[in-house]
Amino acid sequence: MHRRDALFAALSLSTVFIAGEANHFSDARAAGAEEAPFDANTVREKARTLAQQSYKAPSEELPPELSDLTYDQYRDIRFRPDQALWRGQDLPFQMQLFHRGFLYKPRVEMHEVADGVARPIRYNPDLFTFQNLPRPSATDLGFAGFRLHAPINRPDYFDEVCAFLGASYFRAVAKGQIYGLSARGLAINTGDPKGEEFPLFRGFWVERPRQGVNAATVHALLDSPSCAAAFRFAIRPGASTVFDVESTVFPRTDMATAGIAPLTSMFWFSPLNRAGKDDWRPAVHDSDGLLMASGRGERIWRPLNNPRDLQLSAFGDVNPRGFGLMQRRRGFDSYEDLEARYEKRPSLWVEPIGDWGEGAVHLVEIPTTSEIHDNIVAFWRPKDPLRAKGEYRYTYRLHWCDEAPGTPEVGRVVDARSGNSYTQGGRLFVLDVHGGLLDKLGPEAKPELDVTTNQGEIRNPVAQRNPETGGWRISFELFPGNARAAELRAALKAGGEPVAETFLYRWTA
């Protein structure tokens, strides 16, 4: 999947504008037409009913002038900021809409909800500018998705906060950030040799924001050959932007490979693994690691990899406390890229609400030769399949942030590097950890370092204070022998208890 194809929205189309005069959303909403009562159960009942029917793909029919747009042509279709919904009404959010075309041909039905009534948002070509493209003659094209704006960085500017566009993808940013990784409604058959199934959001019901309330509520109907599902997103932008997500899945068929709360990102290379990457920058990635807080209280850091071959990993757990794809390197000097500004990309942390039972956090790492591809996927997969005609509810909180919320007791792995060892046939790993319980170790402390591998041999494990950072440095050598891959694990303990995150890594030849 091409990143610029699936995730381009804010890279070129985002608009910052000052709150001002009222818009003229004249024909976009036909007052009174097809109005329907709406409450918290409306979309869930639609999903339940839809799942009892055979799957029917949404319409992709477009007039000739829109059916074969190139990427650059599609970028030329811009929503007019002066036509944003709720503009000039002294409300905390404004909404803009995406035009159909290019890869975004499926029609997505849009509704505004106010006073317990849902009203369709009508397409009107006057809502858009088309640059050198002909103005569409059709008047009922519908939309491809939408984005919300709010004064997240300055009180007098409405910046783009989140966007829902393409399949079931959506993205968001917190204060001071730019777009990076994405979330999805649901993942199905990800990494399966038979091919992945991509569910679609078929419709959105966006509640009119309330004056003085910094939260937007979005309801979404998801559909795919395997299931239908209902989602409710309560979106609160800020220093961390938080989505409270309520989802209900209604399988049409038995689903053994469903992914709950899926995250999608890009990792090309880092100082830990840059073999064969002839690039002037020190690192290139939207996320550099998978962080997990297990149900038993262990905190695990798994750096990402760009492998030669597709890699699948599963980390079994019961009632996980959280997992997420993190962007830990926050200094400009970690990337040196004035255009991409990877240090400003968000981390995304999934906080399960309630018991999720037994299952595993899955990590999919796909080979890529450049930074234009999303090649990392992480999600939760229940141990037992989701059965046809069943009903499965998952509630969780998404934190678009710099770091995962809360203050962990154990130290963090802040850097990991790798290179040839001094002895032929070996590989040297160097980790820096600091914070948490590590700060409380006395000057004479000698924590125990436990490093293991399932293939080959570990030699010369060392843990020592790093006077330059105030933390600790861990180093060890891997001698893989004839092995083509090795699962590494490093744990730093004091008195038998962990004082730093457990470091996991899959080395590949």
| Cα dihedral: 389, 395, 398, 399 (round 10) | -170
Give the model's pLDDT for residue 443. Answer: 86
Q: What φ, ψ does residue 83 adopt, rounded to 5°?
A: -105, 10
Percent over 90 (pLDDT), the chain: 88
* Polymer length of the chain: 509
Residues 6 or more apart from 419 whose CB is under 8 A from it?
Answer: 427, 428
What the block records as the tokens of 357 is: 């039972």
> Residue 348, class by beta-carbon neighbours within 10 Å (0-12 exposed, 13-18 middle, 19+ buried)?
buried
What are the backbone angles phi and psi of residue 159, rounded to the nearest 5°?
A: -90, 155
* Torsion sign (Cα): 116, 122, 126, 127: positive
pLDDT tens readout for residues 146-201? 999 999 999 999 999 999 999 999 999 999 999 999 999 999 999 998 899 999 99
Contact 91, 60 (CB under 8 A): no
Q: Which residues of 376-407 are buried (b: 16+ CB within 10 A; e: fewer)?
A: bbbbbbbeeebeeeeebebebbbbbbbbbeee
Q: Where are the beta strands (DSSP E) in 278-334?
A: 284-285, 289-293, 299-303, 311-318, 322-326
pLDDT on residue 424? 93
Q: Which whole number is the average pLDDT over 203-215?
A: 97
Q: For residues 387 and 266, is the Cβ–Cβ distance under 8 A?
A: no
Residue 27 has pLDDT above 60, yes or no: no
Quick: pLDDT tens for 460-507. Answer: 999 999 999 999 999 999 999 999 999 999 999 999 999 999 999 999
Edge-to-edge strands of the sheet including 427-434?
412-420, 427-434, 471-479, 457-466
pTM of the model: 0.93
* Cα 93 from Cα 96, distance rounded (Å): 10
Q: What is the pLDDT of residues 371-394, one digit of tens each?
A: 999 999 999 999 999 999 999 999
- pLDDT value at 51 more than 60: yes
The reported pLDDT for the residue numbered 29 is 43
Tell me: the pLDDT tens digits for 330-376? 999 999 999 999 999 999 999 999 999 999 999 999 999 999 999 99
Average pLDDT of every residue of the chain = 92
Average pLDDT for residues 227-249, to the nearest whole number? 98
pLDDT value of residue 23: 52
More confident residue, 77 or 25: 77
pLDDT tens digits along 440-472:
998 889 999 999 999 999 999 999 999 999 999
